[in-house]
Structure 1
Amino acid sequence: MTTFRAFRIHNDDAGYRAGIESMTADALSPGEVLVKAAYSSVNFKDALAGTGKGKILRQFPLNSGIDVAGHVVASTDPAFREGDAVLCTGSGLSETRDGGYGEYARLDARWTIPLPSGLSLRESMILGTAGFTAALALLRMQDNRQTPALGPIAVTGASGGVGQLAIDIFSRVGYEVHAISGKADHFDFLRNLGASACIDRHQLVFSGKPMDSVRFGGALDNVGGTMLAGLLPLIAPYGNVAICGNAGGIAFDSTVMPFIIRGASLLGIASAGTARDIRDEVWRHLASDWKPQHLERIATREITLDELPEVFTRMLAGDSFGRTLVRIDGTI
């Protein structure tokens, strides 16, 4: 195979650096399934890795990108044949093995998902880790007996990729969604995705009491920190708060009262290491009854590999909106 292009990250005696390089398939991480990539996406984790602002990679060098979708060009696993459409999110991509920001990717068959009927490769990467995270949160909440009858679901960080997809997914399934965001100029957009109410984070005041009047049936929290601490006393009896982000900090000050008086549950959403059977279930839902209705609206930008550094900078500066799709052009 001839050389191909990839966005590769190094950290050695010459320092931390990332950019487009030429490489061959022989240099890719080991795995059973070689894929010609069609699309990837940009997640906050990718921006941290690509700029060195966060410790994401556990070994170097690696191709960046925690999501990838494309077609199989070679496989030593009988479950996959040449031409099959597949996707992979998390599962060590851009942490312990080469990720999706390359014209080719070699994947571990254990974590390679056949593209479900009902999704295109493009749609699967508009969803990517963000959509998978939102749907995994819904799955865990409903497994723990969350229902629309408990009351509205608060979605924090609602203007981000996970937040927007969560609004679309939860509202489609029948939940009333209250979007919490610090970007009031996006409220009309969020309402069009399915939010029945929008709350300005800057005007949201928590009482600080261990328990307060019930306001939400549950929550999907992308923020953590004081936001998580403030939400817990507002959750209905036996409601769930799914936590999947820490933009507001990794620590929070709370009490046991919401848990032992109202029976609230705090559910951790660890999308990167999700077991294969759960992955399959989540993707089946995303391709059918939980499929967001506004994917093309949520995909606010489409870029090439060469544009990644600019997008990383904007994302870390808080100047991004919706999902950024990465179109990857390669030749066999």
Structure 2
Amino acid sequence: MPHVQTVLGPVAPQSLGRIMPHEHLFSLVPGPWLTGGDRDTQIELAVDALQGLIPAGFRTVVDLSPYGVVGRDADGSNVDALREVSRRTGLHIVAGTAVYLESFSPRWALDASLDELTARFIADANVGIGGHGIRAGIFGEQATSLGEITPHEEKCLRAAARASNETGLAISTHTTHGTMALEQIGLLRSEGVDLGRVVIGHMDTHADPSYVRRVLDEGVNIAVDTVGKQVWEFFLGPASSDREEGEFEKRAYFRSDERRADLVAELVAEGHGDRVSLALDLTGAEVWMNPGTHGQTGYSYLARIFLPMLRDRGVSADQCERLVTTNPARILTIETAS
């Protein structure tokens, strides 16, 4: 039967309500500075933060945390804590599985062959992430770098593609500032992936709307999934622990939510509304840079602020529901047997 795999087991797609399809529940503070980042603290923060979703009709959150970053342990061992968050909030939680950018990847992932990584992703879907019993409900966020796809990132994306073909789970990608989206699609197509089961992420961070339309023309779905993250920074080069002493480079970016809303409204008016989804990608590391959006309203920002911005631009109530309910539910629905 068609179902959605949550951390508490399979559920009917009709039960999902509104969906946040790209979040990181155990990355709500910049680091483990105050309490040591212990498990209980992570759970308490997530439970408290999610309360604003429920009055707005949200019933499902997708945690797209890859191995070793944004709150997921390098071996996936803390993924079981998502069960407690689900039980305490009453929300369905779907756990993704993926390997992030090369400079953030765990040693085991860097050393794994394509076949080994494919087998691991398949096991994550069929047995449990990292062998811990929580079955993945989507492959993502599978990442590529700024303006390039490294050999390691290609290996990981191909592994996700092959695992998707085997299990029926959809794929959600990370594009760094919207770059390499077309290259991701070409790679996935070469692996025989159903592009209708692919979500290309962070397309709202690309500066050229015509590029976003070219991506949609390939038959994939896209995510406008950094809503509220109007200011962010990107560190160039290796992870911090591998840097040399002295000056290093980073970039700062600004994308207004007014322009995000313009883009979504335009895409809906052009007939693309059935292939766009919305999310916040809220993490504590960036909340301080966005005090008026994520910092002010947290997870409720999408429903309280951004959806009304879309309505002001002519997006109907039914069209908004497609963006936050119908589209992500279709992506999460697995047709194969559980």
**TM-score computed with the length of structure 1 as normaliser:** 0.29
User: Which is helix-richer, 1 or 2?
Assistant: 2
Which one has a bigger Cα radius of gyration? 1
User: Which is strand-richer, 1 or 2?
Assistant: 1
